Structure 1
Amino acid sequence: MNPVPALAATGIGKRYGRRVVLERAELTARPGEVTAVVGENGSGKTTLLRICAGVLRPDTGHVTRLGRTGYCPQEPALLERLTARDHLVLFGRAAGWDRARSLADGTRVLRAFGFDGQDRTPVRHLSGGGRQKLNLALSLLGDPDILLLDEPYQGFDHGAYVDFWDCVAAWRDQRKTVVVVTHLLAELWRADQVIEVPACSAR
């Protein structure tokens, strides 16, 4: 028997003025499964994930989450003058961890993607790939049960990209609920289920 869904979004609708972004969108994800979310550009994939993460309110529908949620947005929301270490401490404390654990766990994740978490370089001087690796690491602080990842590998080199999917497999083995927005259809074999967000007919 399939476990109870850790994430269930039903009847999700969202519009901005006259522009309909989502209409009766659905997403259900379970522990120990990887869900890939696909769709045309502008179909509302990012909007749906933001609603599932609780950072955006839907106009219609309901979202249920069971467990702590980690959200990796497509565009990193970083503080330009701070270093990676500063971010790990700041976001780790927000997740309920002390400084030592935040640095230890965050640095371990960064190093898994080939990024030296001890680097004292301000974020504004990092490459696009470095910023995205930090963005992903921050979403993992607090050991979330649900991972909502919006094209989290943008800017990764090939090695880091492969490492990312190896981590996804490990998170699945840890019984985490993993949802990945992706446009790379060749990688869909890595997912347990694929959900397509259709483009709305009413714009």
Structure 2
Amino acid sequence: MTSNVAEPPKAGTSAAVVAPASPTTTPGIVLEASGITKAYRRGMWPARRRTPVLRGVDLELAAGEVVGLVGENGSGKSTLMKILVGDLAADTGTITRDGRIGYCPQEPVVYERLTCDEHFELFGRAYGLTEHAERASRARIYAQLGFDRCATTRADRLSGGTLSKLNLGLALLADPEVLLLDEPYAGFDFDTYLKFWNLVAQRRQAGRSVLIISHFVTDEERFDRIVQLRDGRAVPR
């Protein structure tokens, strides 16, 4: 596979990614995946078998577009998301994109002994942000998601919902052109859920793009379009 998506920074493992811009995307398209395939080997040797998960996925994300990615359990949604961000290698296919990528994985990847502030400082350095830019972005994220009171709280002492806010905040820190979110509002209360969608609407208005794995049919009207993974391929819903 050829890909121009960078490996995640070592400081943050798979929680967020920043990479240099690609000059090869189609005008107006910020993320383009073509012919993505992935199979896993399952079972015990010598009876191990190769099980295809993605069978040639094609997907485009335009500037200022909010797209939902849906599918049954085991359809390959999280696998595709990890491939798009560079956290997992595809068997075949190409990925091109224009701008920085922020990634919010389904399971938060944090350091238990670090506070929220310390996480933002660490990721800010991994992104190459100046101290002023990191602090300004951090303050904005605290205000948008409403967890500034937890700034000095260690990650292992956060509630599940606040941990989800930190997970999302780290992906937002560098104001990426493309935001990839794997079930980002798991654990959010209703107030935070509404704040999340306000944040998404603001990013759309600013020309930023968001791809969200979602299982809530009631969210459908919030997306510009929805793509379903079915039989290993991406189809319009």
TM-score, normalising length: structure 2: 0.80
The 2-side partners of 1:175 and 1:200 are apart by 30
The 1-side partners of 2:177 and 2:227 are apart by 20
Provide structure 1 residue ranges, at least 5 long, that are not aligned to the other structure: none
**C-alpha distance after superposition, 1:10-48 (max 9, x if no partner):** 111111112222111121110011011000011010111
Q: Which has the higher contact order (CA 8 A, sep 6+)?
A: 1
Gap change, CA 1:117 and 1:141, over 3 Å in 2: farther
Equivalent AA in structure 2 for residue 45 of structure 1: K
Question: Which residue of structure 2 aligns with residue 27 of structure 1?
Answer: 59
The 2-side partners of 1:154 and 1:26 are apart by 27
Question: Which residue of structure 2 aligns with residue 173 of structure 1?
Answer: 205
Q: 2:148 aligns with which of 109, 112, 116?
A: 116
**C-alpha distance after superposition, 1:123-148 (max 9, x if no partner):** 00101111110010100122211111
Matched, 1:53 2:77: no
Question: Which residue of structure 2 aligns with residue 149 of structure 1?
Answer: 181
Provide structure 2 residue ranges, at least 5 long, that are not aligned to the other structure: 1-25, 42-49
The 2-side partners of 1:51 and 1:16 are apart by 14
Equivalent AA in structure 2 for residue 147 of structure 1: L
Between the two proteins, the alignment pairs up a number of residues equal to 200
Note the 1:89-128 alignment, pairs <5 A: 89-116=121-148, 119-128=151-160
TM-score, normalising length: structure 1: 0.93
Q: 1:15 aligns with which of 39, 43, 60?
A: 39
The 1-side partners of 2:215 and 2:167 are apart by 19
The 2-side partners of 1:188 and 1:3 are apart by 27
The 2-side partners of 1:124 and 1:92 are apart by 21
CA-based RMSD? 1.6
Q: 1:6 aligns with which of 19, 22, 30?
A: 30
SS of the residue corresponding to residue 29 of structure 1 reads strand
Equivalent AA in structure 2 for residue 53 of structure 1: V
The 1-side partners of 2:132 and 2:106 are apart by 28
